[in-house]
Amino acid sequence: MSTLTATVEPVPENWLGLGGRGLTSTIVAEEVEPTCHPLGGKNKLIIAPGLLSGTVAANSGRLSIGAKSPLTGTIKEANAGGTAAQMLARLGCKALIIEGMPEGDAWYTLYMDKHGITIAEEKELVGKGNFAVVATVEARTSAKHGLITIGPAGEMKMLAANISIKDPDSHLRSNGRGGLGAVMGSKRVKCIVISPTDDKVEIANPEKFREANRAFTKALVDNPISQALGTYGTNVLVNIINEAGGLPTRNFTAGQFDGHEEISGETMHDMIVEREGKPKHNCHKGCVIQCSQIFNDEKKNYKTSGFEYESIWAMGADCCVDNLDCIAEADHLMDDIGIDSIETSVAMGVAMEGGLLEFGDGEGICRLLREEVAQGTPLGRIIGCGAASVGRAFGVTRVPVVKNQAIPAYDPRAIKGIGITYATSTQGADHTMGYTIATNILGVGGSVDPLSHEGQVELSRNLQIATAAIDSTGMCLFIAFAALDDENCLPALIDMINARFGINLTADDVTNLGINILKTERAFNEAAGFTSKHDRLPEFFYEEPLAPHNVVWDIPDEELDTFWNF
């Protein structure tokens, strides 16, 4: 972007076997100075489809985006569905590397097709929300064009800004965490438009691939958690986590929320059906789980999609808002502004504790989003820079963050395994890095008592390794439920990779890929100045017992630090 030029380069030998997170993290580790300013010219934004993206493999449409995070200061990868991963793969693009920074105030749109990339100055879309960007770009090109975009939050380099990806129905998915939208904004790229192509991804052994995909798809479809996700969305978790006493409520001061029924997946499902929305909806072609949904308002008009447990918990229980319509409006606003719903909602909870709003004031949240965050007022910027930013500005010390990133929807006092993940993850607090809820609560892949120390470090480690590998395939993380419990699932996935590239990976190779990714990421963070002292939960988790179990975070630091013994 410094010279406003784009080149197409052959893939270096040592990157050939990598995709998704494995590739983004490798490129960031090789090419980005760990101590650089994340919003300066030395950071790079890496966009990479997974190893299986672009094929017909079920659930293979995740797009990884990586950089040094301006929120955490660590390495970062965030992935999301939408159409872009499959389209980039079919264009033969292994990764898009956006580097440098233009002089001046102009904004740019990147147009990608099979011939390469054109960088065009962008005037029309500057300052526009994501929904306007989708509509305008579709009018300018076609509904079939892929789109990766930032909203006003990314333009303003807010640390919670996300990057949005258009889905097959022109709705949005979010590469949510770590402020990657601010990195894209710092490079003054408003959006990336991808031309459709009839080209297909080459498959070395098509027959073997088809067969493996059949077995893989069957494993996903048969899995009871996949099915629950299809019916209720991820929001099926509200009642489950509330029952477990681990639903962070009122800025992490309790583990159960009185209003949990009002915001539950079951309630949401009934509302969707009654209002003629869609309880099931796929965020990318080939998804057989379909945890997304179309949520309509009372007048049966479209309000939001991809209405996730995390967002609903954060606006709901954490801010004590028990009104799904209000939460849906907030979700819609955050999608339009282009800002992470977890970070922003947890920031609202901290703001409530700081006295900015009453707990439960969902209208107030929407007003702050509309009039402050979207407008970039000083208060909007404080909120838009996340939970730690709000805590700092308003002198609140109960700030649920690790490495400056908001802790998501599972209280680590009541579900210890996820606390290990929050603390040790290479990317700050992030449940998706090693989703121990599967085993701690859902009984998937065995059973580990959520309240005991026993086995939590090993559980989180195994899941973090597996996740790093899965995030490299282009697969949605939700294949993990089947992978952990159905013996046919993982072999079929590996068979697909082998059939795609004509290679012979074993399960051990995949584990080693995961290990290598984690170690690469950890080494980057160490070179950026992170130590085990940063692998800690905030003080209040050690000190304030959480109802109803009345438990504190009590895993000793020494035990935590054994995480990296592998």
Question: Which residue ranges make up the site for a copy of itself (CB under 8 A)?
Answer: 34-37, 39-40, 42, 156-159, 182, 185-186, 377-379, 381-382, 385, 389, 392-395, 397, 527-531, 533-534, 536, 538-540
Whichever of 321 and 537 has its CB closer to a copy of itself, that residue is 537
User: Nearer to a copy of itself by C-beta: 422 or 478?
Assistant: 422
Question: Looking at beta carbons only, is 159 or 418 nearer to a copy of itself?
Answer: 159
Identify whether the C-beta of residue 350 lies closer than 8 Å to the C-beta of residue 342.
no
Closest to a copy of itself by CB, 37 or 300 = 37
Which H helix or E strand runs over 165? Answer: strand 163-166
What CA–CA distance (Å, rounded) separates 212 from 214? 5
Distance of closest approach, residue 542 Cβ to a copy of itself, in angstroms: 10
Instruction: Provide the minimum distance between the beta carbon of 118 and a copy of itself in the complex, in angstroms, as a whole number.
Output: 27
Nearer to a copy of itself, 36 or 201 (CB): 36
- Both tokens of 220, joined, read 């996903």
At 555, is the secondary structure helix, strand, or coil? Answer: coil
Query: Are the C-beta atoms of 165 and 80 separated by less than 8 Å?
Result: yes
Nearer to a copy of itself, 68 or 128 (CB): 68
Peptide bond into 279 cis (omega under 30): no
Rounded to 10 degrees, the C-alpha dihedral 288/213/491/466 comes to -40
Burial of 508 (0-12, 13-18, 19+ CB in 10 A): exposed
Q: Which is nearer to a copy of itself, 68 or 332 (CB)?
A: 68
**At its nearest, how many Å lie between a copy of itself and the CB of residue 557?**
9
Peptide linkage before 548 cis (omega within 30 of 0) = yes
- The Cα-based distances of 401 to 29, 387, 398, 409 in angstroms read 24, 7, 9, 12
Give min distance, CB of 6 to a copy of itself, in A. 24
Task: Check if the beta carbon of residue 114 is closer than 8 Å to that of residue 92.
Answer: yes
Provide the residue type at 514 as one letter.
Answer: G
Query: Which one, 185 or 445, has the nearer CB to a copy of itself?
Result: 185
Q: C-beta of 389: minimal distance to a copy of itself in Å?
A: 7
In the bound complex, what is the minimum distance in angstroms from residue 390's beta carbon to a copy of itself?
10
Residue 21 CA to residue 162 CA, distance in Å, equals: 17
Contact predicate 495/208, CB 8 Å:
yes
- Which one, 52 or 396, has the nearer CB to a copy of itself? 396
Least Å distance, CB 566 to a copy of itself, is 22
Shortest Cβ 260–a copy of itself spacing (Å): 30
Nearest-CA neighbor of 200 among 114, 129, 324?
Answer: 114
CB nearer a copy of itself, residue 182 or residue 463: 182
Of 244 and 402, nearer to a copy of itself (C-beta) is 402
Minimum CB separation of residue 26 from a copy of itself in Å reads 21
Closest listed residue to residue 164, CA positions, set 142, 185, 187? 185
The type of residue at 214 is: R
> At closest approach, how far in Å is the CB of 310 from a copy of itself?
24
Which residues, 6 or more positions from 466, have their beta carbon under 8 angstroms from its beta carbon? 480, 483, 511, 514
* Tokens 């979700």 belong to residue: 331
Rounded to the nearest 5 degrees, what angle is found at the Cα of 59, between the Cα atoms of 197 and 234?
130
Which residues face 173 on adjacent strands?
165
Residue 287 or 528: the one with the smaller Cβ distance to a copy of itself is 528
* Separation of alpha carbons 477 and 161, rounded Å: 22
What is d(CA 142, CA 196) in angstroms, rounded to the nearest whole number? Answer: 9
Nearer to a copy of itself, 312 or 383 (CB): 383
In the numeric block, which tokens belong to residue 539?
């003080």
CB of 185 to a copy of itself, least distance (A): 8
CA distance 58 to 400: 36
Instruction: Please tell me whether residue 292 adopts helix, strand or coil conformation.
Output: strand
Contact 283, 268 (CB under 8 A): no
SS3 state at 112 = strand
β-pairing verdict for 163-166 and 172-175: antiparallel
Smallest distance from a copy of itself to CB 37, Å? 5
